[in-house]
Each structure stands twice: as structure tokens, then as C-alpha cells.
Amino acid sequence: MRITCPYCGPRDVAEFTYLGDGTLRRPDPAAPGAAAAFHDYVYLRDNPAGRHTELWYHAGGCRSWLRAVRDTRTHAFESVALATDSVPSEQAQ
């Protein structure tokens, strides 16, 4: 499997570390019900089949954080961008 890094170009997946779901939003620790919200944030995750946004770290290269859209059934990457760049949401397409 290869990931196309915006800086380094196509690279082997062994250079990258998968960091998880790229759509999660960290709960506000000061909000009412924060303990329950953090429990859900940490322990309750979906296991999607199909198109999904993920975070990857290019540890063996430029050390950039990347936001990738990948099909979890085929492992094909649809798009890869720097995590700081805005990318289309999964629902927008």
C-alpha cells in the first residue's frame, strides 16, 4: 500500500503511522456532562465500511500530520492532504 504525501510524493505505508479517525471532535472538558462525553469519545467508535477520513503521521519522512480519505473495504486512498488544510467532509461528496 502506498500513500501520496503532499511533500514527499508516493511512499510506502511502512513510513506512516495510523493515528485514527479524522472526524472526531474532542469534547469540551468544561461543558456539563464532560465525563460522559469523554467516555464516548474514548471508548465508543464506529467501524465504518467504505469511505472514511483518517489521520496519518509521516514518521519516516517529513513528519507531517496528514488527513486522508480511504475506502476501508479496498484500502484505496482517495485523497491525502496536510491535516491543517481544509478538506471536504465525507458527507459533502
The pLDDT tens digits along the chain (93 residues) read 999 999 999 999 999 999 988 888 889 999 999 999 999 988 988 888 999 999 999 999 999 999 999 999 999 999 999 998 655 444 333
**Res 91: pLDDT:** 39
**Res 78: pLDDT:** 96
Q: How far is CA 77 from CA 6, 11, 25, 29, 65, in A?
A: 13, 12, 22, 34, 16
| Domain parsing of the chain, residue ranges | 1-26+48-93
Give CA–CA dist 77/71, Å, rounded: 7
- Answer yes or no: pTM beyond 0.85: no
Under CATH, to which class is 1-26+48-93 assigned?
alpha beta
